[in-house]
Amino acid sequence: MSPNALCFGGDLPEAGAPCRVEVSSAGLLVAIQGLPDETIPFTHLSVTAGGFDQDQLVVKWVHGGIERTVYLKDPAVIAAFRQAAPPELMPHLERTAAHVRRARSGRRTWLAIAVGSILGLLLVLWFGSDLLVRMAVAQISVEWERPIGEAARGQFLAGQTVVKEGPAVAAVQDITKRLADQIPNNPYKFEVTVVRSDVVNAFALPGGYVIVFTGLLKKAEGPDEVAGVLSHEVNHVVLRHGLERIVKTLGIVAVVTVLAGNQEGLVGLAKQLGIELVTLKFGREQEMEADLSGLRLLHRAKISSDGLIHFFERLTDADKLQVELLSTHPMSAARVERLKAEAATLPKQEPVPFDFEWKDVQAGL
């Protein structure tokens, strides 16, 4: 007779003794290996639901001064038990069954929600609308963004050499401050890190962590170009593009998590993405959005937008400038045209020069 239940109590093993349980009109017949078979009358039994997911029938009794508990999960035995049990046990059984049904239907409901949501999300993605994602992102408070960005930055920097001081660091911080000061009601405290690498790139992480490579500073023809790139990156942060990508990448679970009001869960999920955050590609619309608001931010900070446009023009000619920036920031001639058109609409103004000397910055690299 193969066992179909686990029995606990008395001298039985702590992990439970495999046993054979059968239902008869006289009660529950329990056969434990090495012990004499017992038939316990129904009147001696109490029942509850238990175990992982509350999906098992837990039957308890006291026999010869020993308390025994048996965990039943075989549906056939549970059904037989319900059929044979006397009326006085029925209320307990019904309550237990209701509990199990609730647990199961809860799971079914959850499954239905999950399937429905996935279909919904597919539809949403199909029609190119990011409404659901934006809704979820709008629920996330700025304080919750920081640990996500911090975790990704930590993982990224672990394999890099950070430039801690010098004219380059001071210049990049100076530019970022000038830009950040012009963001109305700015909730972010921007932290810029300069990384020693020939890679021509810069990126921003949720929460305001900006990373600039020395390769970008070497290739830039002036501080306006660097300011242009930084303004673009800073706007990715302010417009919460990174979060949108995270929510999109993690998919429906993240959306449901956030909409259900649990941000802690998102941080956990995002931490699992870890380093992948750094290489998340932004969408075309996000790029355009960061370009245009980046341009306007430069204007407010009284920095010439020619640098941004000129740098992007050089980027479109990928042969001239071997750049990694392209992989995370898809570039196109259309973007440059759009920027030029937007720049033409802004009132003319005299740019205010930077306090640092660009020659010193490049010499110090």
Partner 1 sequence: MKSEILYPGAFPMVRVDLAAGESVKAESGAMVACSPTVDVESKMEGGFLGALSRKMLSGEKFFFQTLRASRGPGEVLLAPTVPGDIVMLELDGVNEYLVQKDGFLAGGEGVKIESKMQSLSRGLLGGEGFFILRMSGTGTLVLNSFGAVHKIALKPDEEYIVDNSHLVAWTATTSYNIEKASAGWIASFTSGEGLVCRFRGPGIVYIQSRNPSGFGNWIRQFIPVSE
Could you list the residues that contact partner 1 (CB under 8 A)? 2-6, 8-9, 14-16, 18, 50-54, 56, 60, 67, 69, 71, 106, 110, 154, 157-158, 160-162, 250-251, 253, 257, 260, 262, 264-265, 267-269, 271-272
Query: Smallest distance from the beta carbon of 14 to partner 1, in angstroms?
Result: 3
Q: What three-state secondary structure class fits 35?
A: coil
Between CA 185 and CA 238 the distance in angstroms is 11
Cβ(66)–Cβ(60) below 8 Å: no
Query: Smallest distance from the beta carbon of 256 to partner 1, in angstroms?
Result: 9
Query: Smallest distance from the beta carbon of 117 to Zn ion, in angstroms?
Result: 29
For residue 23, give the nearest of 50, 5, 48, 49 by alpha carbon. 5
Q: Among residues 208 and 307, whose Cβ is nearest to partner 1?
A: 208
Q: Among residues 251 and 364, whose Cβ is nearest to partner 1?
A: 251
Helix 306-316 and helix 284-300, axial crossing angle in degrees, nearest 10: 150
* Among partner 1, Zn ion, none, partner that 37 touches (CB below 5 to 8 angstroms by kind): none
Complete edge-to-edge strand list for the sheet that includes strand 202-205? 162-163, 191-195, 209-213, 202-205
Q: Among residues 287 and 342, whose Cβ is nearest to Zn ion?
A: 287
Q: What three-state secondary structure class fits 85?
A: coil
C-alpha dihedral sign at 173, 180, 357, 292: positive
Query: Smallest distance from the beta carbon of 344 to partner 1, in angstroms?
Result: 44
* Among partner 1, Zn ion, none, partner that 335 touches (CB below 5 to 8 angstroms by kind): none
Q: Among residues 76 and 363, whose Cβ is nearest to partner 1?
A: 76
* Among Zn ion, partner 1, none, partner that 4 touches (CB below 5 to 8 angstroms by kind): partner 1
CA dihedral 216, 219, 225, 231 (to 10 degrees): -10
Q: Among residues 269 and 308, whose Cβ is nearest to partner 1?
A: 269
Q: Among residues 54 and 173, whose Cβ is nearest to partner 1?
A: 54
DSSP β-ladder status, 46-50 and 56-63: antiparallel
Query: Smallest distance from the beta carbon of 39 to partner 1, in angstroms?
Result: 21
Between CA 238 and CA 322 the distance in angstroms is 28
Query: Smallest distance from the beta carbon of 51 to partner 1, in angstroms?
Result: 5
Q: Which residues contact Zn ion (rule: CB under 5 A)?
A: 287, 290, 329
Q: Among residues 25 and 272, whose Cβ is nearest to partner 1?
A: 272
* Among partner 1, Zn ion, none, partner that 25 touches (CB below 5 to 8 angstroms by kind): none
Q: Among residues 86 and 116, whose Cβ is nearest to partner 1?
A: 116
* Among Zn ion, partner 1, none, partner that 67 touches (CB below 5 to 8 angstroms by kind): partner 1
* Among Zn ion, partner 1, none, partner that 88 touches (CB below 5 to 8 angstroms by kind): none
Query: Smallest distance from the beta carbon of 272 to Zn ion, in angstroms?
Result: 24
Query: Smallest distance from the beta carbon of 334 to Zn ion, in angstroms?
Result: 15
93 CB-side CA count, 13 A: 15
Q: Among residues 132 and 343, whose Cβ is nearest to partner 1?
A: 132
* Among Zn ion, partner 1, none, partner that 157 touches (CB below 5 to 8 angstroms by kind): partner 1
Cβ(95)–Cβ(35) below 8 Å: no
* Among Zn ion, partner 1, none, partner that 231 touches (CB below 5 to 8 angstroms by kind): none
Query: Smallest distance from the beta carbon of 211 to Zn ion, in angstroms?
Result: 13
Which token pair is 306?
Answer: 């020619």
DSSP β-ladder status, 209-213 and 191-195: parallel
Cβ(192)–Cβ(210) below 8 Å: yes
C-alpha dihedral sign at 281, 245, 169, 232: positive
Complete edge-to-edge strand list for the sheet that includes strand 17-24? 38-40, 27-32, 17-24, 5-8, 66-72, 56-63, 46-50
* Among Zn ion, partner 1, none, partner that 329 touches (CB below 5 to 8 angstroms by kind): Zn ion
